[in-house]
Amino acid sequence: MEWLERTGRWLRVALAAGRVRHRLPWLLVAIVVVGSALKDGDLVPETPLASKRNPLNVYFVKVAWAWMFWLLLPFITLTAYQFAKSKLLYSPVRHVVAVLRRLSVLLVGTAIWYNCTSLFLYIENLTGTCSAVGKAGEPRHLYATKHECQRANGSWNGFDISGHCFLLSYCAMMIVEEVAVLEGLSMDHNSKLHVVINGLFVSLCFLAGIWVFMLLCTALYFHDFSQKLIGLAVGLSAWYGTYRFWYLKPVSPGLPLPNVPLSSKKYSYSR
């Protein structure tokens, strides 16, 4: 597993001092703006990634939150427990409370994902009309939702806020925030726990790379610029509202690195 250790070490160096956390939001904005400009200028060549059925979209993006959830669940559990032990919280009850508090970020994220995607669908239904060709002599049907329209083999034309831009940006930012805990976590590099956490860390970084790449594909091939920009704005607002505002409060899931001064250059959680 030497390659895994080397990869993890390289990624930790790349993510050190919060440089990625500070620059990634601007990179995501640049991707959407530049990608949309290329799309609108018909400067993008046709590739398999232009199809919604490409493997990355089908097997990763369509179930993006599931990938995120099931990788972050063990990662947060193990790192929060280890961090609690390193802070001399001897009581097992305190260890469990610390872990459960940090795991609540997944409940918050799930609520954000569900409510935002539901809102996007509601807006699309509210603003859309159905273009469906009925049989000759039959009265014209009125369809209230996109689902009803598609069941009739019609095409729904509504304001389709990009759920991909929302979810991919939010997931990418959430990953880089959560893996920041490794900057303050001390472990025996020869332990099995280190191997497991390092494997989860590398997997999460790989997943974040896929999210950024697929955001680029979305910007290049799908949606109008306004739909993508709103989706991205919602995703970044969800990240900022949680990790840069609410999670700084005492009554919250807290940051991955608790009790770190906001002005600390090492952990770069300054607002």
Give catalytic residues, as residue numbers: 164, 223
Q: Which of 206, 208, 200, 202 is nearest to 176 (CA)?
A: 208
Which residue reads 């999460």 in tokens? 204
Q: Distances from the Cα of 86 to the Cαs of 81, 107, 179, 187, in angstroms?
A: 9, 25, 17, 9
What are the residue ranges of helices labelled H in the chain? 2-15, 19-40, 55-59, 64-86, 92-127, 146-151, 163-178, 192-221, 225-243
- Three-state DSSP at 50 gives helix
Those residues with Cβ within 8 angstroms of residue 44's Cβ, 6 or more apart along the chain or in another chain: 38, 50, 220, 221
Residue 87, both tokens: 């802070």
Q: Which of 119, 114, 63, 112 is nearest to 247 (CA)?
A: 112
Distance of CA 252 to the CA centre of its chain: 20
| Distance between CA atoms of residues 121 and 115, nearest Å | 10
Which residue type, as a one-letter code, is found at position 53? R
